[in-house]
């Protein structure tokens, strides 16, 4: 089996309802799916929050403007962060 030169990253949407943490940018990709209880570091590296829940879903399907063809849904995980 050949070694993959490029590792597939998992696209994510991280959010928190904590007022003091909403101003920080959170990762939009992960090397692997985080587990509940794992810590996620903000993009700037100044804050960390714990994974409270994970939802596996797909992005809404968009139409390409040139050919008006529907694309396949893209998988994404939605990560809720709390203290």
What pLDDT digit, counting tens, does each position of 30-75 carry? 999 999 999 999 999 999 999 999 999 988 666 556 666 667 778 8
Average pLDDT over residues 4-28: 88
Residue 76 forms part of a structural domain: yes
Structural domain total, the chain: 1
Residue 66: what pLDDT? Answer: 62
Give the count of beta carbons closer than 10 Å to the beta carbon of residue 14. 21
Decide if 35 is inside a domain: yes
**Is 2 part of a structural domain of the chain?**
no
32-38: long-range contacts, CB 8 A cutoff, minimum separation 24: 33/77, 34/79
Task: List the beta bridge partners of residue 77.
Answer: 12, 56
Q: Is residue 52 part of a domain?
A: yes
> Residue 63's domain spans which residues?
10-82
Instruction: Report if residue 59 sits inside a domain.
Output: yes
Q: How far apart are CA 13 and CA 57, in angstroms?
A: 11
Residue 60 lies in a domain: yes
Report yes or no on 78 lying in a domain: yes
């Amino acid at each position: 089996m050949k070694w993959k030169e490029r590792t597939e990253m998992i696209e994510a949407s991280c959010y928190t309802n904590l007022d003091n943490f909403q101003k920080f940018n959170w990762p939009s990709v992960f090397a692997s799916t985080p587990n509940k209880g794992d810590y996620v570091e903000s993009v700037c590296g100044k804050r960390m929050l714990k994974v409270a829940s994970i939802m596996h879903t797909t992005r809404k399907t968009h139409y390409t403007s040139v050919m008006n063809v529907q694309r396949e849904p893209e998988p994404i995980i939605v990560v809720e962060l709390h203290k």
